[in-house]
């Protein structure tokens, strides 16, 4: 099913199809069919009635437009859906029609349908996130020794490695995926409470029917119905928010590295990707753009869901009814974010020569900290800082290298021998424990993935 134009930059094709009218109707009908099977198994309704309901519970032939319009008269999709299903069953088996939706309430079918959609969404998200992790692991290994400028407050700082940068992205995204997985586990539960959450219409058989219903749908049976308790869904959406923040951090970094004047990284380019309608020379960071756009939407959506958690008594007035479009939008944006950054990572090219050139372009100024720490051991921190600040200023004013300037300053030359000055600006000698941190991040994600 093709995406709507307005959703072209808001979701992916699989997630667009998942939240289509046909898919939503079928999820609701799955609940009704599973409920009939469970109640027949528990001897609550006749088997032939259950069979008739199951046979009728196929989305084909249901008029989504009519159900949508009638939902505005009852403030729920459940009422017109059950009405349409009952009518379809009545045409084939009039006696069975009275057993449609037996003992359930509209929120039961709507909430469980939403959970069933989330169950299908989970592997879609997981697949792209795992692709991304594999690609980042590869980049972190390939570029273990690729030195580049660190940048703090968007200004050149001491050297790091691209391997460490990629491993940092990987660590955050991996932690986010684990949080999301745990949230999904808590959220994939059946909703079945009847009119006021007591299943009074089923007498003492309520729990047995609910457990049978959960088994039919492959969901977990909760301690009790959760009609106005939305904490599990809220936790899932918050996990999406944190994860997309980490994905967007990577997207922001990559897009900055792709700037023409930086030129240290580039997304995969071909004739159909990254072009401009006005400037043929451009190769835009389109994957990063998509990811950042998705991440920009999610915080407000998550906030809206948190606001809707304040639900009255046993059935909400407006809070619950606000949720479906919010949940769908968050899941779709998260999926787009994951898919976009997986494609970015898989096709990312690194210009290590440009990385070295950008370090060189600072004329050694980014090694000022190293010079200061070497001098501080001899003359104290305050004196060393002032001396190096003077040297950096002269380096910039006179367009000379920092090591050269220091070598001409008697105060520095007295304490720094020629070999130290020669090696002062070698980036590989001022990486600290960058590679240990890189390895620790990779080992953490590898152990977590294998456990």
Q: How many domains does the chain have?
A: 3
Backbone angles phi, psi at 131, to 5 degrees: -55, -45
Quote the CA–CA distance of 263 and 364 in Å, as a whole number: 20
Give pLDDT, residue 167.
98
* In a shared domain, residues 339 and 415: no
CATH number, position 398: 1.10.40.30
**Token pair recorded at residue 358:** 């950008």
One domain for residues 114 and 251 = yes
Per-residue confidence at 338, pLDDT binned at 50, 70, 90? very high
Check residue 8 and give its pLDDT: 83
Instruction: Say if residue 274 is in the same domain as residue 412.
Output: no
Asked if residue 117 has pLDDT above 50, the reply is yes
Of the listed ranges 100-114, 261-275, 284-298, the one predicted with least confidence = 261-275
Question: Across residues 219-245, what is the average pLDDT?
Answer: 98
- Average confidence (pLDDT) over 359-377: 95
- Per the structure, the complete domain to which residue 213 belongs is given by 1-104+198-220
User: Can you give the pLDDT at residue 271?
Assistant: 61
Q: What percent of the chain is predicted at pLDDT more than 70? A: 96
Find the mean pLDDT for residues 181-195.
Answer: 97
- Per-residue b or e along 38-48, where b marks 16 or more CB atoms closer than 10 Å to that residue's CB: bbbbbebbeee
Q: How confident is the model at residue 275 (pLDDT cuts 50, 70, 90)?
A: low
The yes-or-no answer on residue 272 being catalytic is no
User: Catalytic residue at 349?
Assistant: no
80 and 20 assigned to the same domain? yes
CATH value at residue 214? 1.10.275.10
pLDDT of residue 139: 98
pLDDT band, residue 277 (cuts 50/70/90): very low
Shared domain for 249 and 290, answered yes or no, is yes
Among candidate residues 41, 151, 315, 354, the one labeled active-site is 315
pLDDT of residue 276: 46
* Ranges 111-115, 123-127, 405-409: which has the least confidence: 405-409
pLDDT above 60 for 366: yes
Measured between alpha carbons, how far is 355 from 143 in angstroms, rounded to an integer? 12
Residue 243 confidence (pLDDT) above 50: yes
Please write the tens of the pLDDT for every residue from 323-332: 999 999 999 9
Same domain membership, residue 100 and residue 32 = yes
d(CA 291, CA 384): 45
- pTM confidence score: 0.93
Q: Which of 276, 303, 307, 349 is catalytic?
A: 276
- Residue 170, judged by CB atoms within 10 A of its CB (0-12, 13-18, 19+), counts as buried
Does residue 437 share a domain with residue 405?
no
Q: Are residues 114 and 242 in the same domain?
A: yes
> Do 381 and 287 lie in a common domain?
no
The answer to whether residues 139 and 163 belong to one domain is yes
- Indicate whether 444 and 317 sit together in one domain: yes
Q: What is the CATH number of the domain that holds 339?
A: 1.20.200.10
41 lies in the same domain as 53: yes
pLDDT tens digits, 380-428: 999 999 999 999 999 999 999 999 999 999 999 899 988 999 999 999 9
């Amino acid at each position: 099913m093709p995406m709507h134009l307005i959703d072209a930059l808001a979701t992916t094709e699989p997630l667009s199809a998942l939240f289509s009218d046909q898919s939503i109707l079928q999820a609701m009908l799955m609940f009704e069919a599973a409920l009939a099977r469970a109640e027949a198994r528990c001897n609550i309704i006749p088997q032939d009635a259950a069979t008739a309901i199951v046979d009728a519970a196929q989305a084909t032939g249901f008029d989504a437009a009519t159900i949508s319009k009638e939902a505005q008269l009852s403030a729920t999709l459940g009422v017109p859906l059950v009405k349409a299903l009952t009518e379809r069953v009545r045409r084939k088996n009039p006696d069975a029609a009275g057993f449609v939706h037996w003992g359930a309430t509209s929120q039961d079918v709507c909430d469980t349908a939403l959970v069933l959609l989330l169950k299908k969404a989970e592997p879609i998200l997981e697949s792209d996130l795992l692709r991304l992790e594999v690609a980042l692991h590869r980049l972190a290994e390939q570029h273990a020794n690729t030195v580049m400028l660190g940048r703090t407050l968007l200004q050149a700082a001491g050297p790091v490695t691209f391997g460490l940068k990629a491993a940092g992205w990987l660590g955050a995204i991996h932690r986010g995926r684990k949080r999301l997985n745990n949230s999904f586990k808590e959220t994939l539960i059946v909703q079945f409470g009847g009119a006021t959450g007591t299943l009074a219409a089923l007498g003492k058989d309520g729990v047995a029917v609910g457990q049978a219903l959960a088994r039919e749908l492959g969901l977990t049976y909760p301690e009790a119905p959760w009609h106005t308790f939305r904490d599990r869904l809220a936790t899932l959406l918050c996990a999406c928010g944190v994860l997309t923040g980490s994905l967007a951090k990577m997207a922001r970094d990559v897009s900055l590295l792709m700037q023409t004047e930086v030129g240290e990284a580039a997304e995969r380019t071909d004739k159909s990707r990254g072009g401009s309608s006005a400037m043929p020379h451009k190769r835009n960071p389109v994957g990063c753009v998509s990811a950042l756009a998705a991440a920009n939407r999610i915080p407000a959506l998550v906030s809206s869901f948190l606001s809707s958690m304040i639900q009255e008594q046993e059935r909400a007035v407006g809070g619950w009814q606000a949720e479906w479009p919010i949940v769908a939008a968050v899941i779709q944006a998260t999926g787009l974010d994951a898919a976009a950054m997986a494609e970015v990572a898989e096709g990312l090219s690194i210009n290590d020569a440009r990385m070295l050139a950008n370090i060189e372009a600072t004329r050694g100024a980014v090694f000022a900290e190293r010079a200061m720490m070497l001098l501080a051991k001899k003359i104290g921190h305050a004196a060393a800082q002032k001396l190096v600040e003077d040297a950096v200023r002269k380096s910039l004013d006179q367009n000379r290298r920092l090591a050269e300037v220091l070598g001409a300053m008697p105060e520095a030359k007295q304490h720094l021998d020629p070999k130290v000055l020669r090696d002062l600006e070698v980036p590989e000698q001022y990486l600290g424990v960058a590679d240990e941190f890189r390895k620790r991040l990779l080992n953490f994600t590898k152990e977590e993935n294998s456990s």
